[in-house]
Amino acid sequence: DDARAPIAGVVERTREQVRVLGRTDGLCVVTPYGRSADLRVGDRVVTWEGSAYFPPGLVIGRITSVEQDNFGVSKQGILETNVDFHRLEDVFVIQSLDHVPVTNGAGGD
């Protein structure tokens, strides 16, 4: 339940890897790893293929504004998530799709 735990993401439009870090107001800061990042309002950010915790391609959210970082060296984006994590009640974890049982929907054997 740590909103400040970073998530490895990627900007879909550019495939640039970014770090997504939660803020206390429910928004997130998107920080690219390179200084010459091309972040734009409306860019969709998804989970990165190399993440150890999330499958690739899950939508994290969209960038709503772009600004200079605190040091004025590079850009960072403000991201609005697709879900309200404060109201999230149920989460389903699929560990593998290799062994999905098939059942008869007619109520038979």
- Give residue 96's pLDDT: 66
Q: What's the domain count of the chain?
A: 1
Q: Is residue 43 part of a domain?
A: yes
In a domain, 28, yes or no: yes
Cα-only R_g, the chain: 17
Residue carrying structure tokens 């309002």:
41
Mean pLDDT score across all residues of the chain: 83
- Give a yes or no: residue 103 inside a domain: no
pLDDT at 85: 66
Q: If you average pLDDT over residues 44-72, what whole number do you get?
A: 89
Give residue 22's domain range.
Answer: 7-81
Global confidence as pTM? 0.74
Over the stretch 70-86, which tens digit does the pLDDT of each residue have?
787 788 999 999 877 66
What CATH number should be reported for the domain holding residue 37?
2.40.10.350
In a domain? residue 88? no
